[in-house]
Structure 1
Amino acid sequence: MDVAGTSITAVVALLGVVLGGWLSIHNQDRLWQRDHARQWRDIRLAAYKDFVAAYRQYVAYTLEPTANITAVPHPRVPGRLMPFFDETGRPYKEGLEATSMAVRLVSESAETLSATEEVVISVRHLAARRATHTEAALPAEDFEKLWSAQHAFLTAVRRELGLTEMPLSAYGVRWWRSET
């Protein structure tokens, strides 16, 4: 063998090692990115699940006949009332606040953030109304707004997580209405 043949063989072998190393690093990077995306999806899903549980518990407490809720005018939003709970209801308020903040921390979608805010506004409005109404006398339109906000939240979350459109219920899109 001559020097040129040996040199070519060495260069080809070296290129093979470099290419193999590059492909290995590239594949490892893709696997890491996929795993990272999966972990963040799981984190988001957990935050959204916790938020849904918290606002449903908040609403359930609001509808309790024994709930002690007061409301005062919002200092910065004219016409809006702010609900205040007694020590029994305070954990529900704190749970709602903490989980809505967690959603704000992990969500990547402006649509999800907006829908989260609408749910929070709706449940607070319902609680503020409960301060002046019995649970049985709460206006139906307050529940309509809440269920509409809930539907928008679930739709936004499903879209953000890459899930299919939310299936229609047996009652159609407006599944929260009793007259359909």
Structure 2
Amino acid sequence: MDLSSGKRTPFTLARGHMHCRWNELRRASYSNFVSAVRGFRAHLAGAHTEIKVSGFPDDRRLVPHLDAEATAHRQAMDRAFTEVQMIASAEETVAAAGMLHRIAFRVATARGLYDRVLSERYSNQLWLAERAFIDAARTELGYGCSP
């Protein structure tokens, strides 16, 4: 609608269509990111996954060294995270995605340290971070938080 007259014009219809299109792109990007994180987590939980952990050169952090298949899952997660960073319109969504990404990587480290057993603490943090990301994305898209 034209704000001054209340009439629909081609310009306001096109602008509304673009807004809907951007929301569709965001929703697809956010779904892809959650799917990539879940794929990474599922692979880490597998008995065949080999992860070694070593110290980072600064001696403050641990770094997981992933097998080829886990590396492919991690790269898919990283790509999806970058897409979220580029397309999100709310800083809260980007922050929640960053936390989910970091915790997923920490799960890999915990998996490497505890030999085939996902640390329950990090696993629970991963699900909480996923929920926080989904809630932030839903809020950004105008759906409100999930129940």
> How would you bin the TM-score normalised by the shorter chain?
0.7 to 0.9
Contact 1:65-1:134 within 8 A present in 2 as well: no
1:14 alignment counterpart: none
Distance across 1 between alignment mates of 2:17 and 2:133? 26
Compute the RMSD of aligned alpha carbons. Answer: 1.9
C-alpha deviation, 1:95, in angstroms:
0.2
**TM-score (normalised: structure 1):** 0.73
Contact 2:54-2:63 within 8 A present in 1 as well: yes
Q: Does 1:70 align with 2:70?
A: no
Contact 2:36-2:80 within 8 A present in 1 as well: yes
Instruction: Report sequence identity in percent.
Output: 24
Q: Does 1:120 align with 2:106?
A: no
Q: Please give the per-residue CA displacement for 1:23-56, whole angstroms capped at 9, x wherever unaligned.
A: 8xx7111011101101100110110011011000
Aligned partner of 2:41 among 41, 59, 62 = 59
Q: Does 1:27 align with 2:9?
A: yes
**How many residue pairs end up in the alignment?**
142
1:7 alignment counterpart: none
1:36 alignment counterpart: 18
**TM-score (normalised: structure 2):** 0.88
Computing the radius of gyration over CA atoms, which structure comes out larger, 1 or 2?
1
Contact 1:71-1:83 within 8 A present in 2 as well: yes
2:127 alignment counterpart: 147
C-alpha deviation, 1:133, in angstroms:
1.3
Structure 1: state its 5+ residue gaps.
Answer: 1-22, 168-180
Structure 2: state its 5+ residue gaps.
Answer: none
What is the letter of the counterpart of residue 39 of structure 2? Q
Aligned partner of 1:129 among 110, 114, 134 = 110
